[in-house]
Amino acid sequence: MISIYAWHRNAHCVETFPVETLADAKLREDPDRVLWIDLNDPTPEEEAQVLQKFLPIHALSFEDATRLRCEPDALPHLPKVEEFPDYLFVIVNPLRERYLELIGRDEDRHVELERPFTQLSAVLTRNLLITHHSEANSCVSHLQAYLGRHPAQGDRGPDYLFHLVLDAIVDQFAPVLDHIDDALEALETRVVQTPDSRLFHTILRTKREIIVLRKTLVYEREVLVRLARGEFDLVDERETVYYRNVYDHLVRFTELIESSREMASDLLQSHLASTSNRLSQIMKVLTTISTIILPMSLISGIYGMNFKHMPELEWEYGYFIALAMMLTIGFTAIGFFWWKKWL
């Protein structure tokens, strides 16, 4: 689906245009008009109409933007920014709506860990912003809602509009990181109390989720730092302060996810140490029991031999004497262990 929004720099209001107006070259060439074209789960024909006819982009950019449609089972392209002579091409990875809906439902959310991200591609020129995404996402809805409340802000230019999209994408990580932090604290308590195999797999799954999130955050941080330091002519100097603000948020989230990664690694080590300690306690008890019973087994083994001429076999009280010897040795061993504080 194609949505077209336009702002005239003097009118300070938003207009919407039908798809048919894309055939009008004046729509793109008017220097006093700012355009935002949003491609939400577009068909191949719609992609060709916007990205090959209305604003022809490089074949490699077109291939990257349409990656998920051409390869539905492929992972989204990693975040990047590329500058071309007449446009700026950016790829970022918003969190999928399904993944965000499952926050707090760990048993269901682990199914979504294979693909927690989707892909949003953007093309920026002096007066045009094109966003392309294969599924609905709240970051685009956020921009639409913001422009509905402040329609005059659209005429500030595509670079300002795109910073709002990036800001919404970064803000998506806040509830996820809060949930991971709470989950790690709960896991820390369980590691001390009940370290079992199920808990071990839960920690591994949480660490894997953290690593996936961290990887994308690091790549998006590189994109933001290039946009925030005024490296590209298509990002106006007055807008770089907004990109720096988004970058600051992203740096803070990156530090939080790094801290969570270290905590998950520490929990794994603590779980292994706790399990090893538990096993040592079990082996200690079993070894103590074996040590107490071993002398008793020796005595019973000696008097269980079937030799005909054993002098003690004819004793009237031999059975009771053997029992007394075994009990005496057993209680002596227990007393020794108690004295050594091994029990």
Average pLDDT over residues 35-59: 83
Contact criterion met (CB below 8 Å) for 155 and 7? yes
Tell me: pLDDT of 219 over 80: yes
- DSSP-assigned beta bridge partners for residue 326: none
In 3D space, the residue among 209, 107, 171, 150 whose CA is nearest the CA of residue 12 turns out to be 150
In 3D space, the residue among 111, 103, 173, 115 whose CA is nearest the CA of residue 139 turns out to be 173
Phi, psi of 317 (to 5 degrees): -110, 20
Average pLDDT over residues 179-198: 82
Q: Quick one: pLDDT at residue 231?
A: 81
What CA–CA distance (Å, rounded) separates 255 from 247?
A: 12
What CA–CA distance (Å, rounded) separates 219 from 109?
A: 23
In 3D space, the residue among 282, 301, 1, 319 whose CA is nearest the CA of residue 131 turns out to be 1
The b-or-e profile of 169-202 (16+ CB within 10 A means b, else e) is: bbebbeebbeebeebbeebbebbeeebeeebbeb
Average pLDDT over residues 210-222: 88
Query: 13 pLDDT band (50/70/90 cuts)?
Result: low
For the chain, the structural domain boundaries read: 2-275, 303-339
- HEC string of 148-201? HHCHHHHHHCHHHHHHHHHHHHHHCHHHHHHHHHHHHHHHHHHHHHCCCHHHHH
Contacts for 277 with CB less than 8 Å, ≥ 6 apart? none
Q: Quick one: pLDDT at residue 188?
A: 82
Phi-psi region of 184 (alpha: psi -120 to 50; beta: other; left: phi over 0): alpha
Q: Quick one: pLDDT at residue 110?
A: 57
Task: Among 20-29, 106-115, 133-142, 266-275, name the one with the lowest average pLDDT.
Answer: 106-115
Structure tokens at 133: 């995404």
Query: 9 pLDDT band (50/70/90 cuts)?
Result: low
- 273-330 pLDDT tens trace: 777 777 777 787 788 888 888 888 888 888 777 777 777 777 777 788 888 888 888 8
Average pLDDT over residues 135-149: 81
Rounded to the nearest angstrom, the gap between the alpha carbon of residue 277 and the centroid of all alpha carbons in its chain is 31
Contact criterion met (CB below 8 Å) for 171 and 146? no
DSSP state of 51: I
What CA–CA distance (Å, rounded) separates 160 from 140?
A: 14
Structure tokens at 228: 């925030």
- 56-92 pLDDT tens trace: 888 888 888 888 777 777 788 888 888 888 889 999 9
Average pLDDT over residues 258-272: 85
Query: Does the predicted TM-score (pTM) go above 0.85?
Result: no
Query: 24 pLDDT band (50/70/90 cuts)?
Result: low
Comparing 114 with 238, which gets the higher pLDDT?
A: 238
Tell me: pLDDT of 332 over 70: yes
Which of the four CATH numbers 3.40.50.360, 3.40.50.11540, 3.40.50.2000, 3.30.460.20 does domain 2-275 have? 3.30.460.20
Q: Quick one: pLDDT at residue 89?
A: 92
Tell me: pLDDT of 11 over 70: no
Q: Which helix (H) or strand (E) segment is 138 a member of? A: helix 138-149
- DSSP-assigned beta bridge partners for residue 36: 5, 129
- 84-135 pLDDT tens trace: 888 899 999 888 888 777 776 655 555 556 678 888 989 988 888 888 888 8
Beta-strand ranges (E) seen in 9-127 are: 14-17, 33-40, 80-83, 88-92, 120-124
Query: 271 pLDDT band (50/70/90 cuts)?
Result: confident
